[in-house]
Amino acid sequence: MIPGFNASIQLTRPGTTSQDAMGTPIRTNSVVWTKKGHYQKRYNIENQNDTGRRAEEFYEFYLPFLTGTSRPAPDDRLVVHGKTFIVIGILQESLRHHLTVKARISEV
């Protein structure tokens, strides 16, 4: 069985909705939709540089075909099993069938 198969995936989109008392924008996430789909880890990158170690994990999400504002866009968030993933972009699109979305796990 595929890991993350038939999971409930939620797409949230960050937006600026208000300001605090000092005038600083407060960013909140609005829920765009919740649908069934599946995801799996594709690869990870580990780099050692002068400032330390950097590691990123990349995942692919297989979602139903979506149009308009329901489509995932870069910097949107996919939330599944209590983990947050940041959308990088759409890798593949099968007309009226499914989307393959590339995302990386969020450290926040």
Question: Structural domains in the chain?
Answer: 7-14+25-105 (2.40.10.270)
| Mean pLDDT score of the chain | 83
Separation in Å, CA 19 to CA 16, 28, 29, 63: 8, 11, 14, 34
Residue 56 in contact with residue 107, Cβ under 8 Å?
A: no
State the Cα–Cα distance between residues 27 and 15, nearest whole angstrom.
6
State the pTM of this model: 0.77
Query: Whole-angstrom distance between the N-terminal and C-terminal Cα of the chain?
Result: 29
Note the pLDDT tens digit of each residue in 66-98.
Answer: 888 889 999 999 999 889 999 998 887 776 677
Q: Is the pLDDT of residue 108 over 70?
A: no
